[in-house]
Amino acid sequence: MAIEQIKMPQLGESVTEGTISKWLVSVGDKVNKYDPLAEVMTDKVNAEVPSSFSGTIKELVAEEGVTYAVGEVILTIETEGGVTGDVAPESPQTQAPAGNTEIVTPAAAVSSAQAKTDGNKVRYSPAVLKLSQEHGIDLTLVSGTGADGRITRKDLMEIIESGNIPKASQAASVQAAAPQAEASPAKIEAPAPEKQAAPAPNVPVVPGDIEIPVTGVRKAIAANMLRSKHEAPHAWTMIEVDVTNLVEYRNSIKNDFKKKEGFNLTFFAFFVKAVAQALKEYPQINSMWAGDKIIQKKDINLSIAVATDDALFVPVIKHADEKTIKGIAREINELAAKVRSGKLTSAEMSGGTFTVNNTGSFGSIQSNGIINYPQAAILQVESIVKRPVVMNNGMIAVRDMVNLCMSLDHRVLDGLVCGRFLQRVKEILENTSKENTSVY
């Protein structure tokens, strides 16, 4: 007999923790390899965690409703024979696969560290270390809610939001690598945060008010948005585009397209295709911040925001630059249907390199989006509206106009390259017509 461990998986790029929303097994249950064990909720996706082994459930280490860091043990299984596995999880950092470009910046990388308490080593995840150093939090004064009292990113975010931050110590002992070597003190400077989050307001509740509990999904979304705004210096820019020819072209073929293909040809598919083409020409936009370097991604994988009544999901169109407008339209239709039916998988949520948000679908004409961390930018496609426009010949005409609003991470991108990127998207869209564009 051997006891195997199931650990919290990383269900998507940049995901550092997950919440056990429901156990699907009990102690004593017999399971086969790949059988679902639990439903896990993150800020990006709800997914089932499959078993890596066949055997009998020994212990449910994690509790329902509690958030655990990636790599923490959530369950143990008793198996027939074999060797007990205890592989340390990979730290959830941005990786650079072959083909990506790494651009080194002067910023220092966040180093891994260990604390030693009562002779037992206490390991902190890179996300916890980074947050504690950025906000000057003394981890020895924090009570963790994770397994075995481990401190999770959620614990630190709650402290940061409350504004009641335990001061970081000015020195820490660092144990030498050589055996029996005496530890020498080394100072760790914790940068002071630029702005502390305000404590949660004490809102009075009077008769007639409705209290709506914050769900795990909403908490995860809030934490991710807060992280993006805290870590990425946001800037934004906007450009207006004359899409009169595009509107006429799409309207002239949409009915025949629906009869032939069985799904709608939306305006959004044309915008996604234009963005994918422009990203290929301006690859700097398709980048991510990684501490001491900028990673320029080789694949163009476009995240599209899809909202439900109480949550926001970002499924990904992989290799969007290689797809036709028809292919993109099909994927938009299929991914949106999966979001609304709850069938979206974690694989369909991972790998995004740039986000395109169809804010115009609910009538917005101008907005400032929050970047989908750790990406470097997000583009809001606003509503197409008819407006009087002064033409090149000085005449006034009614044209179909749309605003494209782009938020950018100013650590990665500057206004010049973003302006050129938007001008290229504008050029592609304004030249989309029956004469020079095919949806196939």
Q: Residue 248 falls within a domain, yes or no? A: yes
**Cβ contacts of residue 197 below 8 Å, gap of 6+?**
160, 161, 162, 163, 226, 230
- Minimal CA–CA distance to 142: which of 126, 123, 165? 165
* Higher pLDDT, residue 148 or 30: 30
Q: Average the pLDDT over each of 123-132, 267-276, 367-376 and give the range with the smallest value.
A: 123-132
Beta bridge partners of 377: 408
Q: Residue 218 falls within a domain, yes or no? A: no
Q: Residue 203 falls within a domain, yes or no? A: no
Out of 86, 292, 310, 414, which one is annotated catalytic? Answer: 414
Asked if the model's pLDDT at residue 179 lies above 50, the reply is no
Q: Average the pLDDT over each of 149-158, 174-183, 327-336, 381-390 and give the range with the smallest value.
A: 174-183
- Is residue 62 located within the same domain as residue 123? no
pLDDT at position 116 is 38
- Band of residue 69 on the pLDDT scale cut at 50, 70, 90: confident
Q: Residue 407 falls within a domain, yes or no? A: yes
- Is residue 379 located within the same domain as residue 252? yes
Out of 86, 256, 310, 410, which one is annotated catalytic? Answer: 410
Q: Residue 28 falls within a domain, yes or no? A: yes
Q: Residue 220 falls within a domain, yes or no? A: no
Asked if the model's pLDDT at residue 113 lies above 70, the reply is no
What is the domain-level CATH number for residue 164? 4.10.320.10
Q: What is the pLDDT of residues 220-269, one digit of tens each?
A: 778 878 889 989 999 999 999 999 999 999 999 999 999 999 999 999 99
As a whole number of angstroms, the distance between CA 148 and CA 38 comes to 20
- Is residue 52 located within the same domain as residue 123? no
- Is residue 272 located within the same domain as residue 345? yes
pLDDT at position 89 is 38
Structural domain total, the chain: 3
What is the domain-level CATH number for residue 26? 2.40.50.100
Residues 156, 128: contact at Cβ < 8 Å? yes
pLDDT at position 126 is 57
Q: What is the pLDDT of residues 31-53, one digit of tens each?
A: 998 888 998 887 666 678 889 89
Hey, is 255 helix, strand or coil?
Answer: helix
DSSP per residue, 163-199: T-PPBPPSEEEE--SSTTPPPEEEE-PPPPPSSPPPP
Asked if the model's pLDDT at residue 178 lies above 60, the reply is no
As a whole number of angstroms, the distance between CA 168 and CA 273 comes to 48
- Is residue 252 located within the same domain as residue 351? yes
Phi-psi region of 363 (alpha: psi -120 to 50; beta: other; left: phi over 0): left
- Is residue 20 located within the same domain as residue 153? no
Residues 52, 33: contact at Cβ < 8 Å? yes
What is the domain-level CATH number for residue 264? 3.30.559.10
The pLDDT of 262-289, averaged and rounded, is: 97
- Is residue 350 located within the same domain as residue 275? yes
Show which of 16, 46, 79 is a domain's final residue. 79
Quick check: bond before 204 cis, omega within 30?
no
- Is residue 75 located within the same domain as residue 106? no
pLDDT at position 359 is 94
- Is residue 121 located within the same domain as residue 46? no
Hey, is 426 helix, strand or coil?
Answer: helix
- Is residue 66 located within the same domain as residue 112? no
As a whole number of angstroms, the distance between CA 164 and CA 145 comes to 17
Q: What is the pLDDT of residues 311-340, one digit of tens each?
A: 778 899 999 999 999 999 999 999 999 988
Distances in whole angstroms, Cα of residue 140 to Cα of each of 69, 172, 269: 18, 11, 51
- Band of residue 21 on the pLDDT scale cut at 50, 70, 90: confident
Domain span at 278? 233-430
As a whole number of angstroms, the distance between CA 53 and CA 427 comes to 54
DSSP per residue, 366-415: ---PPP-TTBSEEEEE---EEEEEE-TTS-EEEEEEEEEEEEEETTT--H
Q: Residue 346 falls within a domain, yes or no? A: yes
Q: Other C-beta atoms within 10 Å of 159: how many?
A: 20
What pTM does this model have? 0.63
Show which of 21, 45, 79 is a domain's final residue. 79
CA 90-91-93 angle, 5° bins? 120
pLDDT at position 305 is 87
Q: Which two tokens stand for residue 144?
A: 């963790």
| 234 labelled catalytic | no
Q: Residue 215 falls within a domain, yes or no? A: no
Q: Mean pLDDT score of the chain, rounded to an integer?
A: 82
- Is residue 142 located within the same domain as residue 20? no
- Is residue 130 located within the same domain as residue 60? no
Show which of 187, 202, 220 is a domain's final residue. 187
